[in-house]
Amino acid sequence: MSATDPTIDPKTKSWVESANGGSDFPLQNLPLGIFSEAKGLRRPGVAIGDYILDLPAIAEAGLLDGEWLEDLAQPVLNAFLSRGHAAQGELRARLHELLSDERFRDDVEPQLIGQSEVHMHVPCVIGDYSDFYVGIHHATNIGKQFRPDNPLLPNYKYVPIGYHGRASSVRATGEPVIRPNGQRKALDAEAPEYGPSRRLDYELELGLWIGRGNELGQPIPIAEAAGHIAGYCLLNDWSARDLQAWEYQPLGPFLAKNFLTSVSPWVVSAQALAPFRKAMPGRPAGDPQPLPYLDDPADRAAGALAIQLEVTLTTEKMRAAGLAPHILSRGSADAAMYWSAAQIVTHHSANGCNLQPGDLIGTGTLSTDSGDGLGSLMEISNGGKTPLSLASGETRSFLEDGDEIVMRAWCEGDGAVRIGFGECAGRVVTSGV
Ligand code: MN
């Protein structure tokens, strides 16, 4: 999308008043999601201000036209997103017209539903979920806890490190976080015991939704990778650190991670994010350049995303006392990612692995290089050694029952209208054991 794309023109306003003046969802965002009303069917909608526009309803009213029309009658976005950026762009241009031009107001307005009145769902049937580890400051911080002199393993600057996660337990914002049980082994104990995790943590990540897939055996070239990403969301890779420490060798994360992954429900498109692209951070002197299959001039020039990230914590006691949420971190994704979204997608398919429409890929925890933007409690509390203090007088090294984590993301910059991702929230509940 060029800078002249009319759908990101900052001068255009919507006749939906709440979309103008700082909403997460102005006319320039138009993220798709899947929603339902009480006892209603799941269906696609687009966020505008405080509302969702019911897409099957306006299609039925004859206001949409395209080869993709029948895909919008589905309860998931897989089929629509599989058509790639061209279809997304066509729908976006039409929605931009319908929501800005007063001529359409009388026909469209009855199909707006308040966001507070609906339930949001995971937008796709996720065939596969993979999680990467491209946040270099996070990888360094965690590595230091085990190897102070040599925090990054030798492959880190050559390989975008990742593993296969679990799709069945990916849920939309608001899903309760049931404290997982598992094997925990204290460092000085002879044998592990089974019980509720005592070191429950979150991980601040971005999620990538795959649109067009690739055939088995046909890698996605780096220059084409961005075209396979339908959009982005927030992702919380809930992690039980005590289970993880005992189980992760030699095959990597398993039960420490697969009990739940939360995502924000809106697919924020590449078109909406175009004004917020930046050059990838330069690699420090002495770092290897990416191998040719991961190197692309266009991606070097604009592969980073200036997405602002914030995580807050409230405890039961804080909520009862009416205290403001505690800000755990603030930072920007562009400074955190050693590998770009395109490099992640290309690497994932580089051996011929096929990505499918609706696949979800996590970036890995995104921490800044300063103490203000750390993306997990493991880093903030330095492995539990330095608990943080809250206004309620409580302290935390890891999450207690009743604690709620809320992640938010937004983009802002000169000459562009601010857009947001909405929330990715989850509250910890007891395991009942
Ligand atoms: Mn992770």
Task: Tell me what the mean pLDDT of segment 311-336 comes to.
Answer: 98
Structural domains of the chain, ranges and CATH numbers in brackets: 6-121 (2.30.30.230), 129-429 (3.90.850.10)
Q: Is 138 a catalytic residue?
A: yes
Among the options 138, 228, 347, 348, which is catalytic? 138
Q: Could you tell me which of 211, 228, 208 has the C-alpha nearest to residue 219?
A: 228
Residue 190 backbone class (left: φ over 0; alpha: ψ -120 to 50; beta: rest) = alpha
Report DSSP state, residue 337. B
Q: What DSSP assignment string belongs to 29-98?
A: T--EEEEE-TTPPPEEEEEETTEEEEHHHHHHTT---STTGGGGGSSSSHHHHHT-HHHHHHHHHHHHHH
SS3 193: strand
Radius of gyration for the alpha carbons in the chain, expressed in angstroms and rounded:
22
* Percentage with pLDDT > 70 across the chain: 99
Specify the pTM: 0.97
- Nearest alpha-carbon partner for 206 in 299, 328, 305, 347: 305
Measured CA to CA, the distance from residue 56 to residue 398 in angstroms comes to: 43
Ligand 1 centroid – CA 199 distance (Å) = 15
Distance, in Å, from the CA atom of 21 to the CA atom of 94, rounded to the nearest integer, reads: 22
CA–centroid distance, residue 376 to ligand 1 (Å): 10
**pLDDT exceeds cutoff 60 at 158:** yes
DSSP string, 258-310: TT-EEE-S-BEEHHHHGGGEEPPPPPPTTPPPPPGGG--HHHHHH-EE--EEE
pLDDT value at position 3? 52
In the prediction, which pLDDT does 1 show? Answer: 45
DSSP code at position 416: E
- Ligand 1 midpoint to CA 14 (Å): 37
**Residues recorded for the chain:** 433
In the structure, what pLDDT confidence band is assigned to residue 432 with cuts at 50, 70 and 90? low
| Helix ranges, 85-156 (H) | 85-100, 105-108, 136-146
* Beta-strand relationship, 112-114 and 119-121: unpaired
- Ligand 1 center to 362 CA (angstroms): 7
- Distance (angstroms) between ligand 1 centre and the Cα of 67 equals 37
Q: What's the whole-number mean pLDDT along residues 98-115?
A: 98
Distance in angstroms (rounded) separating the CA atoms of residues 71 and 75 = 9
Q: What confidence tier does 187 reach under pLDDT thresholds 50, 70, 90?
A: confident
Question: How far apart are the CA of 194 and the centre of ligand 1, in A?
Answer: 23
Tens digit of each residue's pLDDT (9 = 90 or more) over 376-418: 999 999 999 999 999 999 999 999 999 999 999 999 999 999 9
Question: Chain centroid to CA 65: how far?
Answer: 30
Confidence at residue 121, expressed as pLDDT on a 0 to 100 scale: 98
pLDDT band at 39 (very low <50, low <70, confident <90, very high): confident
Q: For residue 132, how far is its CA from the centre of ligand 1 (angstroms)?
A: 7
Residue 188: per-residue pLDDT: 92
Computed over every residue of the chain, the mean pLDDT equals 96
270 CA to middle of ligand 1, Å? 23
CA 315–ligand 1 middle distance (angstroms): 23
Specify the pLDDT at position 146: 83
Here the contacts of 144-150 (C-beta below 8 Å, separation 24 or greater) are 145/378, 145/382, 145/383
